[in-house]
Amino acid sequence: MAGTQYRGSEIKDVDQFLKDSAGLETDREKEIGQHIGYRYDVNLVPDYNHITPFLEKYMEVMGWDDLNWLEDIHMGYEEGKPAVFDRNINGWVRVPDSIELPNNQQDRDMIARELLIKFQMSDRHPLATLRKAYTKF
């Protein structure tokens, strides 16, 4: 597979490129400490051939034709550990060690999207505590 062009150099290992904190350009990249991969590699746009059964059902229940707000969710790294960035809490959600991640970036990104949704729907999510505290009915 040919590498992706970026500022005159070729990227051969997208994972290493994403982990490399040098050259972060946008404020968002600086804030989360990593490159936003799909800005440089169109292959990181969701490939629906890799969708998980959970996400397929989620899209069906929501009545969506695509992943909508999940398209820019990708497997990232926090302190060298696989993690997903949750914008709602402005923090990383680490992937449990019990989950073996595939080598394919598209498969890892689909798992990241699924984990993020499941975490956001769980009682462990910080917003669930706020909902319970401030719900009137």
Q: For residue 16, give its domain range.
A: 1-44
Residues 21 and 62 grouped into a single domain: no
- For 46-62, what is each residue's pLDDT tens digit? 778 888 999 999 989 98
Check whether residue 94 and residue 35 sit in a common domain.
no
The helix/strand/coil state of 38 is: helix
Residue 68 pLDDT:
72
User: Region 61-68: what's the mean pLDDT?
Assistant: 84
How far is CA 56 from each of CA 65, 100, 105, rounded to the nearest angstrom? 10, 21, 18
- For residue 91, what are the contacts with CB-CB under 8 A and spacing of at least 6? 85
Are residue 38 and residue 59 in the same domain, yes or no?
no
Higher pLDDT, residue 99 or 16: 99
